[in-house]
Amino acid sequence: MVFSTIMFLFRFLPITLALYYLAPPKLKNTVLFICSLVFYCWGEVRFFPVMLSLILLNYVCGLAIQHFDQRPGLRRFFLIAALVGSLGMLFYFKYANFVLESANALLGTSFAPIQGIQVLPLGISFYTFQTLSYSIDVYRRDVPAERNIIDFGAYVVMFPQLIAGPIVKYRDVSNQLHVYKGRYCASQIEEGMTLFTFGLAKKVLLADAIGALWTDIIGIADSPSTTFVGLANASTPLVWLGILAYSLQLYFDFSGYSMMGIGMGKMLGFDFPKNFNYPYISASITEFWRRWHMTLSGWFREYVYIPLGGNRKGLKRQILNLFIVELLTGIWHGANWNFICWGLYYFVLLAVEKLFLLPYLKRGRIWPHLYTLFFVVVGWAMFVGNDPGVEFGLLFQRLFIPTGGVSPLYFLRNYGVLLVVSVVCCTPLIEKLWDKLRSHTLTRVGTVLLLLTVSTAYVVGSTNSPFLYFNF
């Protein structure tokens, strides 16, 4: 079930909120757990046992780790069991066939693909990391083990962040999860509705609209009825315009989803961590990764980079740790070589900045932003290289070898205003404008209602457009 659908907006969400608000305090987590399971099973019922297994595994291991508090060997055993079980399941569904295909290509073997796992369980990359953070934090004694399996299940499958984040650590919400009376207030619900509305507007008014430009240029391989230029016919400037459009679409799509999730979390009485902080205004690649998908980069920093030694063991070790983190980041995003290359690409950029470039970037004004934006957009070209209708080699050939073809002028006339609006919305200017509008009740309520009405109208009048990060 997608947030930006009639089914979710007018059926699932209002019914769930009504049941949640009307439920007795002690039953709110139960209602949340059941409704979240319905949300997940709506489109992925066959993978429900996978999620249930991860919940049970980490729940039992958490209790065992705490129970054997004075026996280090047994604590370590149950932590390893949680890690191996969770990561093993993720590897099986997400990477097993990729490893087999790569082995066949590199070694000339003929391993048959595993049947039944061609489709990835929805959200498995996200909820696996959430369960892992719980078991690790219990092992570190940062949080006590959750004894109520319903409360633990509600944390894992909470529908606002289940499918595509933000990645919520157990300690982020554990206190709120155990507040049964007074978990939320009217102002919190209003703030949540506002965030949800802005997130929905990002998705349907910006991401889907600018995504149409990318589709018009590149096309969709399985939609022969769609009229598009195609890479083979596009000029180099037009391909750059297409990649820029994709970069904007990806940002508004993913940040919009995160904002909707954070908003619904507030409606339910939970404060989820921020996931985006205007990444396209960054003045370095280092800064970009502090602003983009902040919960994922924070997860890798806390559970991989720092345990490996971080920057505490010398420059060489820091570079090695950075290599491991960026490689894992690329692998996390998808079982394909272009994602691995994308992760290593960012390792090179970050390593260069760590070694010598950062001091020069800090002294610059305009060029550091242009430098960052250029390499980020090139990174997204690598990121999208395996999408339907996109040929990786041809894409980069068109980007970096000047080639004639269809001019971008027609598309600039049609999408020029939208491009300008989108670029402005990538900056804090809209937030500053909203800070002025929200000080007056009439303008605050009117703006939210107008955005909600227009966004809903677009949802009603358009076909279903899934969120891009559902693929990961």
Q: Do 63 and 172 reside in the same domain of the chain? A: yes
Examine the fold and report which residue of 183, 198, 224 is the final residue of a domain before the chain moves on.
Answer: 183
**Across 6-23, average pLDDT:** 93
Q: What is the DSSP string of 70-115?
A: T-HHHHHHHHHHHHHHHHHHHHHHHTHHHHHHHHHHHH---PPPPT
How many other CB atoms are there within 10 angstroms of residue 81's CB atom? Answer: 17
Confidence grade of residue 469 (pLDDT, cut at 50, 70, 90): low
Is 336 domain-assigned?
no
Among residues 249, 326, 257, the alpha carbon closest in space to that of 288 is found at: 326
Q: Do 124 and 161 reside in the same domain of the chain? A: yes
Q: Do 211 and 239 reside in the same domain of the chain? A: yes
Is 29 domain-assigned?
yes
Q: Do 69 and 192 reside in the same domain of the chain? A: no
Strand partners for 216 = none
Q: Inform me whether the pLDDT recorded for 354 exceeds 60.
A: yes
Q: Do 123 and 261 reside in the same domain of the chain? A: no
Q: Do 198 and 86 reside in the same domain of the chain? A: no
Is 290 domain-assigned?
no
Examine the fold and report which residue of 117, 150, 183 is the final residue of a domain before the chain moves on.
Answer: 183
pLDDT, one tens digit per residue, over 27-68 is: 999 999 999 999 988 877 888 888 899 999 999 999 999 999
Q: Annotated catalytic sites, by residue?
A: 333
pLDDT, one tens digit per residue, over 75-90 is: 999 999 999 999 999 9
Give residues with Cβ within 8 angstroms of 459, minimum separation 6: 4, 5, 6, 9, 200, 204
**Amino acid (one-letter) located at 277:** N
d(CA 218, CA 239): 8
d(CA 167, CA 258): 10
Is 302 domain-assigned?
no
Q: What is the pLDDT of residue 387?
A: 73
What is the separation of C-alpha 149 from the centre of its chain, rounded to a whole number of angstroms?
A: 26
pLDDT, one tens digit per residue, over 368-390 is: 999 999 999 999 999 887 777 68
d(CA 128, CA 52): 11
Q: What is the pLDDT of residue 132?
A: 93
Range of the domain at 73: 6-183
**Amino acid (one-letter) located at 248:** L
Looking at the 3D structure of the chain, how many domains does it have? 2
Q: Do 170 and 214 reside in the same domain of the chain? A: no
Q: What is the pLDDT of residue 466?
A: 60
Q: Do 177 and 196 reside in the same domain of the chain? A: no
At residue 128's C-alpha, the angle toward residues 122 and 134, to 5°, is 145
Q: Do 116 and 165 reside in the same domain of the chain? A: yes
The pTM is what? 0.93
Q: Do 76 and 193 reside in the same domain of the chain? A: no
Q: What is the pLDDT of residue 115?
A: 80
At residue 245's C-alpha, the angle toward residues 243 and 247, to 5°, is 70
The two structure tokens encoding residue 199? 């997130």
| The dihedral formed by the CA atoms of 364, 368, 369 and 372, expressed in degrees to the nearest 10 | -170
Q: Do 153 and 130 reside in the same domain of the chain? A: yes
Share of the chain above pLDDT 90, in %: 62
Cβ-contact 370, 349 below 8 angstroms: no
Give residues with Cβ within 8 angstroms of 258, minimum separation 6: 164, 165, 166, 199, 275, 276
